Chain A
Amino acid sequence: MTADFFLSLAQAISKGLLTGMVYGLMALGLSVIFGVMRVVNFAHGEIMVVGMYLAWMGFEYLQVSPMLSLPVIAAMFFVAGYALQRTVISPFIGRPEHQQFLLLLAIAILLVNACLAIAGPDARGVQMDSQFESYELGPFVFDAVRVHAAVTAVVIAGLLWLFFTRTRTGKSIRAAADNNLGALVVGLDVRQLYAFTFGVGAACVGAAGALMITIIPVTPFLAAEYTLLAFVIVIVGGLGSMTGALAGGLLIGVSEAVAGLLLQPSLKSMVSFGILILVLLLRPQGLFGKSGT
């Protein structure tokens, strides 16, 4: 009995960790956009859901596996994010929060209802052979799709880290995030960098969407839930911190899976919101955030 219980608990935790990696990648996009531009992307979950739908369409109509369409979707989202920032969002940088909120809310409404108009309200999922495969490690069983998704998410996060620490553009973006005025003074094209950042953030969340569709089917109504989830993760980990976003994703992924096992599945987000409230009150800069920001 107890041995069984611990096994299923360990199983739930490992499942939560694997899903949490994808959550982390999604939250990374939000964190990058906020950390650099101080714009709160209220359309984040909606962008994610668009990514899920694109991956589903690629599978349904072109028979391309979501893993293969992922780079294409990420590239498309980069371009779309870049363009969106240059045209619509750019004037709102530095404006009061409620105006940014309304702008992104309008974008969110447009995106999610475009999905609804095109794909309808029914849940859309992909059926792949790998969904029936699993890896066994001692007594543990891991779903193959979750492992693939988690590994891919980690690889993308690693690439992102390399981009921000090793490339000139990445370093310039960090400079603009740390000190906007200083970046302008030394002659960086901050507007360009902002657009680039939004593109990178959108590409992250688009990639996360392509991974997520292999785990669960998509409906338009998931969008708002994902926006909230991304916020919870990013606040818990620390807004603007890359490690924080990933660690927050793991924490929330595990807490959801464990709450689903110990309590009822419908109570799982209650635990996440509980964690959010505790973090907001006790450590508002987040678990990995720098204090005083």
Chain B
Amino acid sequence: MSLLARLTDGVPARSLWGLGLLLVLLLVAPALLGKYGLSVLILVLYFAYVGQAWNIMMGFAGQLSLGHALYAGVGGYIAAGLFFHYGIGPWAGVFVAVLAASVAGSIVGYLGFRFSLAGVYFALLTIAFSEFTRIAFDHWGWVGGSGGLFLKVDATVDIPNLRGGPLLFYYVILALAVGAFVVCRVLLESRLGRYWLAIREDPEAAQAVGVPVLRCKMIAVVISAAMTSLAGVWNAFYYNNLFPETAFAMGRSIEFTLAPIIGGLGTLFGPIVGAVVLTGLGEIFTDLSELFHVSGLKQIFYGLALLVIVMYRPAGVWPWLAERLGFAEKRR
């Protein structure tokens, strides 16, 4: 079977039409949306993309990472540092970034899995490594220390160096998000994907029936870290600045987890739906809180929304929505 046929195997025609329509809409969106709308859509795609990456580890393989900022931070810093110091463009630098993040992921993963840390313990290990790296970068001169690393802001489009306005970054993150969606679909349908689900549901039973548990978990963390580092590189060049305080913050790691959890863990559309819901709510609450002039009000609304969602839709918004809309996808 050709790849396309395999990807679409068993997907009802109306779902395919829906997806095609969505893709066309996203491709022409910049022409339809204003500057503000585009910036919001960029955020949605960014969170959908990192959400997919994180979902591979937690949603598919069942390993709770609360330190994914490590991979985004390392990736972003390396690509930006190479560009800043040596003028090496991100298209080349990204390979180093991905490599470094994969190495970081395999170190964290190997230590965690080899010493069979699970659940909260594994999550704390990931936090510890991320925090450790944050403090190290705070004291590392090459990356600017706690003062930060700044790229020259330049709106002239220079694709080889990934310099340009929001439009360029929109299409890059769109390509990443679409790519991640396809990759996740391929992975889920593969033998590896089935192994992951088996490990997620019952690691001991999986081990007993001959699933190479350690190897499968390692592959999950490396793929997830590598994909997350791409988001870090994109983020560094989009915002043109990097600070250890924010790049490796626990808050950033938590941000990465929200879209897939809110949307529906372990589903393909969960991270996308979650990103739409969260970014949408964030924008609404920003507008709303500007009416009142109380600091922290936006976050209070946000916290309330999270509370309501997790209390009434603990399995996520998408599985519920999919059922309403008559689509089949459930958490596997």
Contacts and interface: CB of A to CB of B under 8 A. Distances in A.
Interface of A: 40, 88, 91-92, 95, 97-99, 101-103, 105-110, 112-117, 120-121, 220, 224, 228, 231-232, 235, 264, 266-267, 269-270, 273-274, 276-277, 280-281, 284
Given A106-B310, A109-B299, A273 B115 contact: no
B124 A276 contact: yes
Contacts of B139: 264, 266-267
B25 interface: no
A266 B307 contact: no
B303 A267 contact: no
Nearest to B258: A102
Contacts of B167: none
B45 interface: no
Contacts of B138: 266
Interface of B: 58, 64, 66, 111, 115, 117, 119-121, 123-125, 127-129, 131-132, 135-136, 138-139, 146, 250-251, 254, 257-258, 261-262, 265, 294-297, 299-300, 302-304, 306-307, 310-311, 314
A144 to B, nearest CB: 32
Nearest to A280: B125
Contacts of B115: 280-281, 284
A110 B120 CA distance: 22
Contacts of A284: 115, 117, 121
A244 B262 CA distance: 35
B250 A224 contact: yes
A98 B265 contact: yes
B125 to A, nearest CB: 5
B296 A277 contact: no
B306 A97 contact: no
B64 A98 contact: yes
Given A117-B296, A280-B124, A97 B304 contact: no
B311 to A, nearest CB: 7
Given A106-B307, A116-B299, A277-B132, 15 more contacts: A97-B119, A99-B261, A99-B314, A103-B307, A106-B306, A110-B304, A113-B296, A220-B296, A235-B124, A266-B146, A269-B135, A276-B128, A277-B111, A277-B129, A280-B125
A102 B64 CA distance: 12
Interface centre among A106, A264, A269 (most CB of B within 10 A): A106
A113 B303 contact: yes
A116 B299 CA distance: 10
A224 B135 CA distance: 16
A109 B146 CA distance: 26
Contacts of A276: 124, 128
A243 to B, nearest CB: 20
Given A88-B311, A99-B310, A110-B307, A277 B64 contact: no
Contacts of B129: 277
B307 A113 contact: no
Contacts of A267: 135, 139
A109 B297 CA distance: 11
Contact of A269 (B131, B306, B311): B131
A201 B323 CA distance: 40
A264 B261 CA distance: 38
B58 A98 contact: yes
Nearest to B300: A113
B293 to A, nearest CB: 10
A108 B294 CA distance: 18
A273 B134 CA distance: 11
Contacts of A280: 115, 117, 121, 124-125, 128
A72 B296 CA distance: 27
Given A228-B250, A277-B125, A280-B125, A109 B136 contact: no
A115 B258 CA distance: 23
Given A103-B310, A267-B135, A280-B115, A110 B300 contact: yes
Q: Across chains A and B, which 4 residue pairs bring their CB atoms closest together, nearest first?
A: A109-B303, A116-B296, A113-B296, A106-B306
28 contacts: A88-B307, A92-B314, A95-B314, A98-B261, A98-B265, A102-B261, A102-B262, A102-B310, A103-B307, A109-B299, A109-B302, A110-B307, A112-B296, A113-B297, A116-B295, A116-B296, A117-B300, A121-B295, A228-B131, A231-B124, A231-B127, A235-B121, A266-B139, A267-B135, A270-B135, A270-B136, A273-B128, A273-B131
A259 to B, nearest CB: 11
B216 to A, nearest CB: 20
A120 B125 CA distance: 33
B119 to A, nearest CB: 5
A273 B146 CA distance: 19
Nearest to A263: B139
Contacts of B131: 228, 269-270, 273
Contacts of A114: 296, 300
Contacts of B258: 102
Contacts of B314: 92, 95, 99
Nearest to A270: B135
Nearest to A114: B300
A12 B295 CA distance: 38
A127 B91 CA distance: 56
A106 B303 contact: yes
Nearest to A275: B128
Contacts of B58: 98
A155 to B, nearest CB: 30
Contacts of A266: 135, 138-139, 146
